[in-house]
Amino acid sequence: MKIIAATNNANKVREICEIFTPLGFDVVPQASAGIEIEVEETGDTFKKNALIKARAVAMLTDDYVIADDSGLCVEVLGGRPGVMSARYAGEGATDKEKINKLLGELDGVEDRSAKFCCCIAMIFPDGRELTAEGEVKGRILKEPRGENGFGYDPVFFSDELSKTFAEATNEEKNSVSHRGRALAAMYERMKNENK
């Protein structure tokens, strides 16, 4: 089954492929499917943004479409950066700039509890829509650790892995990550939907 990944983020495509390809899905990035659009994320929740992206791409293809919206939610910051995670330090900011802004806001703060949240949206060729969510809890370290991952991974310490996501292998991260859990939940929903 072919699924178009509604994203231009190569790291997200890789994670979706790593989880969905072994299950028998052919995951194709939207650009490889000839879909060259940038979708503005105007929703105030991860679910709304995932659906906005999936619906925009679904209008341009007859294939299944999968999209996600995800981000880091820090408790003491009232859930920020949240849906603004990618744009937290301004449009086009590097991962390092986003991390530096976050660490600056948490300077001197003891409670560094945080979680990564993800919502996956799937649109079927017949127009049916499914969503699934996942999250992983941890805390924000005072300085980056590790060379893997992307985004806030170097400062997000996973309680379950006892290391940052940037110190984890792809397999370790996928086994507990918010995106991995949301994709696993989506797979189960799709199986039930297709019975």
Burial class (CB in 10 A: 0-12, 13-18, 19+), 94: exposed
What is the DSSP secondary structure assignment for residue 143, as one 8-state letter? S
Rg (CA), the chain: 16
Catalytic, 69? Answer yes
Q: Which residue among 26, 63, 68, 69 is the active-site one?
A: 69
Strand partners, 2: 26
Please state, in angstroms and as integers, the Cα–Cα distance from residue 48 to each residue in 7, 96, 118, 154, following that order. 15, 27, 11, 27
Would you name the residues annotated as active-site residues?
A: 69
